[in-house]
């Protein structure tokens, strides 16, 4: 399937961008970024209708909100690679006078960012607000929101879940990055999330499970999710991923949640990721 | 001028907010309202009845309300969030900081039941730190109107201001005495001209200051009385003009002494025109249950205490 292999090639470049941004800044969060590279590639290069000539209000566009703002490197990469700003700007990540702040922000005017995130648990509320406005305006496009799984330990997320079901916010797809890891260790050990599928369902959401690293399945399940909209229920995708996906020594552990690779590790990581679109 | 500052009726500032919302609902279709289970207290039932599609009940979930408002603003709406001042600010400080202030969202945070005059519910609900919390946020406009009329006018005016606003008002029936059509964001209102002492007051304390001024004038003290409804951005030139003339000032507010209007004024004077300043505010203490007038008296927010502070400030002036 041509589309799938094209998207996989882009995702490989996105992963290189993540490693290079964080290594160059000697800080940042490569683990979760690598884990969400396939999803964000699918959204920005295939699924969403969006305009790189950025407008804050996003009228008649699909809109994406990143609640777990610390995985900014993956978002910056797909935004740059899809034309929101020059890819060369990725070299400024986390540096002084940059628009690419450690966590995403609107303050410096980076195209593609609509609200600051990083202090966790707030993104879904904002996504709901935009979804409500779209309904008021008769705008049929879709709102996507990505949240971490550890982030679900924040109480505000459950306030938002309750609201979205009560007010039938059925133009919203929330995707949970279900990697089972957080800074201090496995979520199971830090603060168990229990049966997430049952919890989302009990809160009144339609739940879809998805393998976050199988591009064919990602495209299929996002289609299923879109077809589930407009039926008086918000839609949740529980996306199984591996933190650090794509680099063997980073995969499946929380150890690379918030740590950059050193020179040697960077070379090793990049040797595992094909350069497909040209490094910045 | 002073004899015009009288009242025929008492009405709560929150009723002024409700009346403002009714007018706004009719004239500005971008305005939407959110409430966290306090519709009756915030007096917005008419807005809801007339614009049901532009109202969102969020339940007892203030953090979510702030985030949803930020989203609505992102898409071009002008959201007004409504709840008690305690839950509107302290409870959701980080949400306001990240999703509204840092993100430059055009959200109007509207807060009733601020300060001691909330009364019987007691200190859990009587926030006296909200002005400080809000004025510290970059880009936040902070407004504390004095009466029904001024609150109604402020409610309407902030819809035209692009940027986040904190609008603070209260629960009790209060004298309706401010002249109509005088509210402009950021512009102090001179209520009486005098030369011996400047009295600066905000919110409910403006009426207390009017009463104190009457007594002072009766006893031969000439008072320059200023209503500062906009605490940020502060009308520094109005303050400096007045204090340069009188040589001293008193600042009265229904708020903690630390972090409120008094400290803002002190900062302006210390930097630009050092002069004696006395504060009438709550002195590093929580409130308690009681009737509004009993509480104002017990915690020193009375006309009598403004009078005493004015005499003290005058005494401190260099001869």
Residues B150 and B143 sit within 8 Å (Cβ to Cβ): no
Average pLDDT across chain A, whole number: 97
Residue A102 pLDDT > 60, yes or no?
yes
Q: What is the pLDDT of residue B318?
A: 82
Q: What is the mean pLDDT of residues B65-79?
A: 98
pLDDT of A1 reads 53
pLDDT tens-place string over residues B232-269: 999 999 999 999 999 999 999 999 999 999 999 999 99
**Mean pLDDT over the full length of chain B:** 97
pTM: 0.97
B105/A115 CB distance under 8 A: yes
> Chain B residues with CB inside 8 Å of A122's CB?
63, 67, 95, 98-99
A134 domain residue, yes or no: yes
Residue A2 has pLDDT above 70, yes or no: no
Is B66's CB within 8 Å of A125's CB? yes
From the list B84, B119, B169, B86, the residue with the least C-alpha distance to B288 is B119
**pLDDT tens for residues B186-206?**
999 999 999 999 999 999 999
The torsion angle over the Cα atoms of residues B99, A25, A22 and A76, rounded to 10 degrees, is 50
User: ipTM of the predicted structure?
Assistant: 0.97
For residues B27-41, average pLDDT = 98
C-alpha dihedral sign at B221, B224, B230, B234: negative
What is the count of structural domains for chain A? 1
Q: Do domains B8-175 and B189-316 have the same CATH topology?
A: yes
**How far away is chain B from the Cα of A161, in angstroms, using its nearest Cα?**
10
Q: What CATH number is given for B189-316 in this structure?
A: 3.40.50.920
pLDDT at position A36: 98
What is the structure's pLDDT at B136?
98
Residue A197 has pLDDT above 60, yes or no: yes
User: Which of B258, B318, B261 has its CA nearest to residue B283?
Assistant: B258
pLDDT for residue B66 is more than 70 = yes
| A56 interfacial to chain B (CB closer than 8 Å) | yes
Read off the pLDDT of each residue in A116-122 and give the average, rounded to a whole number: 98
Percent of chain A whose pLDDT exceeds 90:
99
Query: Which among B247, B206, B210 is positioned nearest to B115, based on CA atoms?
Result: B206
Domain span at residue A11? 2-271
- pLDDT per residue over B272-283, tens digit each? 999 999 999 999
- CATH number for the domain harbouring residue A27: 3.40.50.970
Instruction: Region of A83 please: left (phi>0), alpha (psi -120 to 50) or beta.
Output: left
Is A140 at the interface with chain B, CB within 8 A?
no
pLDDT of B1 > 80? The answer is: no
Q: Is residue A278 situated within a structural domain?
A: no
Angle between helical axes of B13-27 and B148-160 (0-180°, round to 10): 40
Q: CA-CA distance, B253 to B241, in Å (whole number)?
A: 21
Whether residue B62 lies in the annotated active site = yes
Model confidence pLDDT, tens digit, residues B106-151: 999 999 999 999 999 999 999 999 999 999 999 999 999 999 999 9
Confidence (pLDDT) at A208: 98
CB–CB contact B102 A107 (8 Å): yes
Q: Could you tell me which residues of chain B have a Cβ less than 8 Å from any Cβ in chain A?
A: 32, 53-54, 56, 58-59, 61, 63-77, 79, 94-95, 97-99, 102-105
Give residue B61's pLDDT.
Answer: 98
For A181, the enclosing helix (H) or strand (E) is strand A181-182
Q: Which overall architecture, per CATH, does domain B8-175 show? A: 3-Layer(aba) Sandwich (3.40)
Q: How confident is the model at residue A104 (pLDDT cuts 50, 70, 90)?
A: very high
Residue with tokens 């990540």: A93
Assign 3-class secondary structure to chain B.
CHHHCCCCCEEEHHHHHHHHHHHHHHHCCCEEEEECCCHHHHCCHHHHHHCHHHEEECCCCHHHHHHHHHHHHHCCCEEEEEEEHHHHCHHHHHHHHHHHHCCCCCCEEEEECCCHHHCCCCCCCCCCCHHHHHHCCCCCEEECCCCHHHHHHHHHHHHHCCCCEEEECCCCEEECCCCCCCCCCCCCEEEECCCCEEEEECCCHHHHHHHHHHHHHHCCCCEEEEECCEEECCCHHHHHHHHHHHCCEEEEEEEECCCCHHHHHHHHHHHHCCCCEEEEEECCCCCCCCCHHHHHHHCCCCHHHHHHHHHHHHHHCCC
Q: Which of A113-122, A207-216, B1-10, B291-300 has the lowest mean pLDDT?
A: B1-10
Give me A228's structure tokens. 């589930």
Residue A120 lies in a domain: yes
Query: How, if at all, do strands B197-201 and B223-227 pair?
Result: parallel
Largest CA distance in chain B: 64
Mean pLDDT confidence for A140-166: 98
Among residues 150-209 of chain A, which lie with CB inside 8 Å of chain B?
155-156, 159-160, 162-163, 166-167
Domain segments of chain B as ranges: 8-175, 189-316
Summarize pLDDT for A45-66 with one digit per residue, the tens: 999 999 999 999 999 999 999 9
The average pLDDT across A227-231 equals 98
């Amino acid at each position: 399937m041509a589309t799938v292999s094209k998207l996989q090639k882009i995702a490989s470049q996105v992963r290189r961008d993540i490693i290079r941004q964080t290594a160059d800044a000697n800080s940042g969060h490569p683990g979760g970024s690598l884990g969400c590279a396939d999803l964000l590639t699918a959204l920005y290069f295939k699924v969403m209708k969006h305009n790189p000539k950025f407008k804050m209000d996003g009228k008649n566009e699909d809109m994406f909100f990143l609640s777990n703002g610390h995985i900014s490197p993956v978002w910056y990469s797909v935004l740059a690679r899809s034309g929101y700003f020059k890819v060369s700007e990725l070299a400024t990540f986390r540096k002084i006078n940059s628009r690419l702040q450690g966590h995403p922000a609107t303050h410096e005017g980076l195209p593609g960012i609509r609200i600051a995130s990083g202090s966790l648990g707030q993104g879904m509320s904002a996504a709901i607000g935009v979804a409500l406005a779209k309904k008021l305006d008769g705008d049929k496009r879709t709102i996507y929101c990505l949240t971490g799984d550890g982030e679900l330990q924040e109480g505000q997320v459950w306030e938002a879940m309750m609201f979205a079901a009560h007010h039938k916010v059925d133009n919203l797809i929330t995707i949970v990055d279900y990697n089972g890891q957080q800074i201090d260790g496995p979520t199971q050990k830090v603060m168990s999330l229990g049966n997430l599928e049952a919890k989302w369902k009990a809160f009144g959401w339609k739940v879809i499970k998805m393998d976050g690293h199988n591009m064919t399945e990602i495209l299929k399940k996002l289609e299923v999710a879109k077809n589930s909209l407009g039926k008086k229920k918000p839609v949740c995708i529980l996306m199984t991923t591996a933190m650090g996906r794509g680099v063997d020594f980073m995969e499946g552990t929380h150890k690379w949640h918030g740590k950059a690779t050193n020179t040697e590790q960077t070379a090793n990581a990049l040797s595992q990721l094909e350069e497909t679109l040209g490094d910045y | 001028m002073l004899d015009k500052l009288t009242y025929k009726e008492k009405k709560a500032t929150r009723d002024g907010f409700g009346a403002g919302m009714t007018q706004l609902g009719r004239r500005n279709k971008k305005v939407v309202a959110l409430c966290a289970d306090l519709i009756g207290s915030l007096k917005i039932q008419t807005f809801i009845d007339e614009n049901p599609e532009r109202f969102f009940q969020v339940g007892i979930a203030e953090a979510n309300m702030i985030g949803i408002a930020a989203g609505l603003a992102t898409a071009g709406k002008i959201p007004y969030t409504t709840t008690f001042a305690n839950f509107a600010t302290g409870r959701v400080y980080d949400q306001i900081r990240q999703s509204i202030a840092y993100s430059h969202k055009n959200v109007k945070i509207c807060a009733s039941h601020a300060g001691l005059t909330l009364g019987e519910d007691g200190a859990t609900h009587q926030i006296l730190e909200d002005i400080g919390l809000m004025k510290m946020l970059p880009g936040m406009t902070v407004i504390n109107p004095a009466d029904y009329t001024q609150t109604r006018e402020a409610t309407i005016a902030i819809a035209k201001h692009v940027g986040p606003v904190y609008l603070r008002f209260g629960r009790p029936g209060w004298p309706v005495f401010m002249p109509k059509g005088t509210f402009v964001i950021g512009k102090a209102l001179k209520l009486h001209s005098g030369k011996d002492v400047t009295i600066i007051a905000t919110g409910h304390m403006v009426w207390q200051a009017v009463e104190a001024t009457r007594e002072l004038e009766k006893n031969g003290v000439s008072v320059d009385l200023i209503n500062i409804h906009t605490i940020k951005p502060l009308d520094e030139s109005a303050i400096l003009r007045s204090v340069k003339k009188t040589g001293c000032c008193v600042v009265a507010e229904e708020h903690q002494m630390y972090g409120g209007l008094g400290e803002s004024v002190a900062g302006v004077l210390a930097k630009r025109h050092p002069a004696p300043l006395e504060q009438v505010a709550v002195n590093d203490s929580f409130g308690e249950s009681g009737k509004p007038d009993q509480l104002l008296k017990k915690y020193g927010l009375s006309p009598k205490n403004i009078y005493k502070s004015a005499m003290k400030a005058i005494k401190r002036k260099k001869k």
